[in-house]
Amino acid sequence: MDRYLVGFNINDIPYEHYDVIIIGSGIAGVYTALQTDKNVKVAVITKETLDISNSVLAQGGIAVSLDKDDSPECHFKDTIYAGAGLCNEETVWALVSEAAENIDILCRYGVNFDRAENNKLALSREGAHSKNRIVHTGDATGKEVCDTLIHALLKHENVKIYERTFAIDIIAENRKCIGLLTFMEDLNGFKLFLSESVVCASGGYGQLYYNTTNPPVATGDGIALAYRAGLRLMDLEFIQFHPTVLCHPENRSFLISEAVRGEGAVLLNAKGERFMPSYHPMAELAPRDVVSRAIFQEIQKTRSSHVFLDISHKDREYVENRFPTIYRTCMQYGIDITKDKIPVAPAAHYSMGGIMTDAYGRTGIDGFYACGEAACNGIHGANRLASNSLLEGLVFGRRIAIEVSNRVLNGTKHKTVAPELLNVEKVSSEPLENVNVLKLKLRKLMTEKVGIVRDEENLQEAMKRVLEMKQEISGKAYTTIEQWEFVNMLTLAELVIKSALMRKESRGAHYRSDYPQTDDINFKVNTII
């Protein structure tokens, strides 16, 4: 594996100094920037525009124990249960015990959460939660939170935002962070951001799969650059497939929130039969991996492309007001959810694995941090509990913000100096072509061979074909963002398959039909370096 994705001479690249560089403009990146001390000079770089991220698409809400019958201890137990034995108890406790404080901060920023009649935050329930504890804004919570936080961020004079800026590689020396090499589309050239503190909040790798709820930007770039820098990755085999994604010829990526099931919707197979009670005692509110596999099996049994989600028995006005985005979107495709059943099927949704961190987002490189979906601190274990993802970005984004602020303000402030002799040569006369065709080929391969149900034969075949693709592009020149994305995707595909082959058991979101039992004696966390 090459240490750097591109060839460059560091002396030929324009640069700027910042106290902190943040990669990503989802909830984790933006909230980290907002919570950083205003005396700290921050740069936020984002591959697309500021408002494009996976966080924006989050519908359900944010988990927090606020009800008198609920508690952080109860939230902790539900998270541990969903994680199927692989959760890190220290980080889970940090998540649940600091949740209310961060929700209060969001309210002070002006996030307009739905309210109950007593003006307290309205609480709903989602899969594997034992209590009502999901705060929400209709069915567009992610957009409301992100829009509000971005609006606040634009007022912070200590923060500069760089859009259409692609993070290529971390620059480090002696395991200490020096800065970040980027490509700026608007300048059509490289730029070096020098800093002793870089925060990776670049999101996950849902685009490895053909059917995904993730936006096109979710190609795992931050995780891949961390791997090239020699950092440990963890839990990559655990890809969460959301059970209920719209299955329509014109749209196979629109999420039908778990909150719909939380409000009483039931799942029906192609024959119109309700099936979830026969798979799990919690029926439609079982953990996501259970529901996804159940739908997968029902689709196979009935030789259909989908099952149905039915909430038509609920009051029309209530459904329209509670799920306005889902209602409007489905109506565009001729589906009136107040009287019609919604065709749904599972799709890749969330990456539990990522850059291995501690409870404060620290990694194996001094000054390089990670949070949000790009990170893996053990909270989600083998299966993320619904609505813990936005919460994770908040809790650990704030922890990192406090850490880097103290690092800058209490340390010896000096300008980071780039290594003068860093000259990476990449000689190739042959450009990488047909990259979009290759991306599509990879995504279909991962869906077919490394999906909801896996086995040795399919995983080995997937590995063989990924290695063939690597050989096919070896030695060619990568000079565009699309090409760099593909190399990152190919790197992660190999590592996901490797991790899936290593785990010879079924646990959480990782299901092996050739090893269907959970091995509670020999199981461990998979890390790759």
Residues with a catalytic annotation lie at: 288
Q: Give CA 358 to chain center in angstroms.
A: 18
Q: Indicate the burial class of 99 (C-beta count within 10 angstroms; 0-12, 13-18, 19 or more).
A: buried
CB 151 within 8 A of CB 95: no
Positive or negative, the CA dihedral 198, 200, 201, 207 is: positive
Q: Indicate the burial class of 249 (C-beta count within 10 angstroms; 0-12, 13-18, 19 or more).
A: exposed
d(CA 229, CA 59): 34
List own/partner pairs for 408-416 with CB under 8 A and 24 or more apart.
408/19, 408/20, 408/37, 408/40, 408/197, 409/37, 409/39, 409/40, 413/19, 415/17, 415/194, 416/17, 416/178, 416/179, 416/194, 416/195, 416/196
Selection from 49, 73, 314 nearest residue 162 by Cα: 49
CB 508 within 8 A of CB 351: no
Structure-block tokens of residue 456: 């040795």
Q: How many CB atoms lie within 10 A of CB 259?
A: 25
CB 387 within 8 A of CB 395: no
Selection from 406, 409, 373, 405 nearest residue 391 by Cα: 373
Q: How many CB atoms lie within 10 A of CB 216?
A: 13
DSSP assignment of 128-192: T-SS--EE-STT-HHHHHHHHHHHHHTT-TTEEEE-SEEEEEEEEETTEEEEEEEEETTTTEEEE
- What's the farthest any 2 CA atoms get from each other in the chain? 69
